[in-house]
Chain A
Amino acid sequence: MSLSVCMEKKLDNFILQVSFESERGTVGVLGPSGCGKSMTLKCIAGVEKPDRGRIVLNGRILFDSEKGIDLKPQQRKVGYLFQQYALFPNMTVEENILCGLQGEGEKRKRQEKLQEYLEKMDLVAERKKYPGEISGGQQQRTALARMLAGAPELLLLDEPFSALDSHLRLRMQVEMKTLLKEVGKEAVFVSHSRDEIYRMSEQLAIMEQGKVCGFGDTRRMFDKPHNKTCAELTGCKNIAEGKKAGTHCVEVPAWNMRFETDTEVPEEPFYLGIRAHSFDCNQNENRTNVKITGCMEEPFEMIYTFRYQDMPGETPDIWWRIPKKDRLPAGTGGSEWTAKKEVCLGVAPNQIMLFPA
């Protein structure tokens, strides 16, 4: 199983330039809305045409502008799961699934497969219903069944959970993850949610303004972002320019702070990033007094903003998130922390991320 994409397409606001290669499993594509994620999938599926480039799936050339190859979407064996599922509204659940089974010559075989998918996706009771008459989760399972029925070699999942209610979303993610493992097919999963991406994908491409600004193992991409954009898009809230102050010491003028780091400090210009979860009142390294400037309560988490001592005025506040259950170390003031309170906070040196711009 392998997918290699390298292509370019001029869009209205920017040029889409995508290249990545995947050997196995699910590739996540993370990026803000309108960064060209969906267009990338459409080009792989063949419903949109890149200006130039090459797309190869399992050794089959799907598109190659130099050789003049451009397979029709019908010939690509690529399944596409749309954000709103794109179920055919004039067809029942079973007719929709049968559309994916047109390749099966024999009628009996088609019916067998249909039955198999209906059972697997728990849609037997809904088989005669129209898409407008079933729930969002059932619609998604119908779309999944229809896509898998076509026996594609590659699955393209375009924000598949965004149309679901939040209580269904997590459940469908677990279901889909299990299903993807079961069918053992390679997939490209597009989302603007880093949580979904982290759960669903083994490899991750981060996109912004039509460009891939980082590609690699998903977990590593979160632990050690390749650059500032990757850090931001994986959700790192606190980023500032760093200055080398020693082999394992960084000065951050914008925060009026010095940090000890585990990673060796590079010579070239770099940024320092600390995730909001990394601050810890029981951590003795990089510890100092900070001034709390704001507070927001979440169901299971507290979100604070704070400032270091004598931090320059133009620098934005720093974010700190902490689970409620391990919130309050003894003697720091209890649950009534409000603005202007002083707290002592540290950050473990291995939580400090350094990356180029």
Chain B
Amino acid sequence: MDLFPLWNSLRIAFFSCIVVFFVGIFAAYYIARLSPVWKGILDVFFTLPLVLPPTVCGYLLLLVFGLKRPAGQFLAGYGFQFVMTWYGGILASAVVAFPLMYRTARGAFESYDKNLDYAGQTLGLSNTYIFWHIRMPACKQGILAGLVLSFARALGEYGATSMLIGYTPGKTATISTTVYQLWRTGDEKGAFMWVLVNLAISVVVMLAVNLLEKGK
């Protein structure tokens, strides 16, 4: 059995998790400082991928990064394309998983005691130090939970991924696209194998989430 889809899914999920971690946290951090109007608008925008069908997200990504589109052409000028490449999968998964990270991080920040920030500031600690050494550890539980959820979502991403990077065995195939492809071509046994792999990963992830929540 060719293990490429497992490896590809894992690396896509891993890298999109990293992207989502930083972007999600900073979006959550900065949105709290905006005026209520901007907060409302941006919050809808950031949460949109959660409620849109993933295929719609994929379609929108193609509208922006498609090879004939300005952004896609611009990137292609530097020999870089999201369409039909494995790292395009990172973009697709990151967009779909982003709201999970953003919302859990925002929830954690909202219940965070701002006086800890103030105390740090009056003690002369830099804002960066306060963020990474005081705020993040205090919000650790929530942010880790968001991270695990994002990872699970990125790993299981099908709709946006198949729209943007399609299915090329040994190149862009992920577990979810492989299951569909094998089943479609009548390879029931192969599809079932990948279903088992996916089940195993999901169980591990859910166990991790439960353990984190217990630690709260």
Contact = CB atoms under 8 A, between A and B. Distances in A.
Contact of A47 (B122, B133, B137): B122
Contacts of B116: 86, 88
A47 B126 contact: no
Contacts of A42: 118
Contacts of B118: 42, 45, 47, 73, 80, 82, 86
B120 A99 contact: yes
Nearest to B136: A90
Nearest to A150: B123
A37 interface: no
A206 B113 CA distance: 28
Contact of A82 (B115, B133, B134): B115
Given A73-B118, A80-B118, A89 B138 contact: yes
B119 A86 contact: yes
A79 B124 CA distance: 10
Given A74-B125, A102-B125, A80 B119 contact: yes
A150 B122 contact: yes
Interface string B106-140: 00000001011111111111100000011001100
B144 to A, nearest CB: 14
**Interface SS majority for chain A:** loop
Nearest to A79: B122
A74 B121 contact: yes
A250 B134 CA distance: 61
A192 interface: no
Interface in A131-190: 146-147, 150, 152
Interface string A91-104: 00000000110110
A72 to B, nearest CB: 7
A239 interface: no
A283 B119 CA distance: 53
Contacts of A150: 122-124
B121 A72 contact: yes
A45 B123 CA distance: 10
A47 B119 CA distance: 9
A86 B113 contact: yes
A99 to B, nearest CB: 5
A102 B122 CA distance: 12
Contacts of B138: 88-90
A182 to B, nearest CB: 21
Contact of B123 (A46, A72, A90, A102): A102
Give the most central of A47, A72, A89, A147: most B CB within 10 Å.
A47
A45 B120 CA distance: 12
B134 A88 contact: yes
Nearest to A77: B124
A102 B124 contact: yes
B98 to A, nearest CB: 27
B6 to A, nearest CB: 36
A239 B123 CA distance: 45
Nearest to A103: B124
Contacts of A152: 122
A78 B118 CA distance: 11
A88 B132 CA distance: 12
A84 interface: yes
B68 to A, nearest CB: 49
A89 B116 CA distance: 9
B122 A76 contact: yes
Interface in A17-64: 42, 45-47
Interface string B174-196: 00000000000000000000000
A10 B125 CA distance: 28
Give the most central of A45, A73, A100, A102: most B CB within 10 Å.
A73
A47 B121 contact: yes
Nearest to A38: B115
Contacts of B133: 90
Interface string B184-210: 000000000000000000000000000
Nearest to B122: A80
A84 B123 contact: no
B65 to A, nearest CB: 41
List of 9 A-B pairs having minimum Cβ-Cβ separation, nearest first? A90-B137, A73-B121, A86-B119, A86-B115, A47-B118, A80-B122, A74-B124, A82-B115, A100-B123
Interface of A: 42, 45-47, 72-74, 76, 78-80, 82, 84, 86-90, 99-100, 102-103, 146-147, 150, 152
20 contacts: A45-B121, A46-B121, A47-B117, A47-B121, A72-B121, A74-B125, A80-B119, A82-B119, A84-B113, A86-B116, A87-B119, A88-B116, A89-B138, A90-B138, A100-B123, A102-B124, A146-B119, A147-B122, A147-B123, A152-B122
Interface of B: 113, 115-126, 133-134, 137-138
Given A73-B118, A73-B121, A79-B123, 8 more contacts: A47-B121, A73-B122, A74-B121, A74-B122, A82-B115, A88-B134, A99-B123, A99-B125
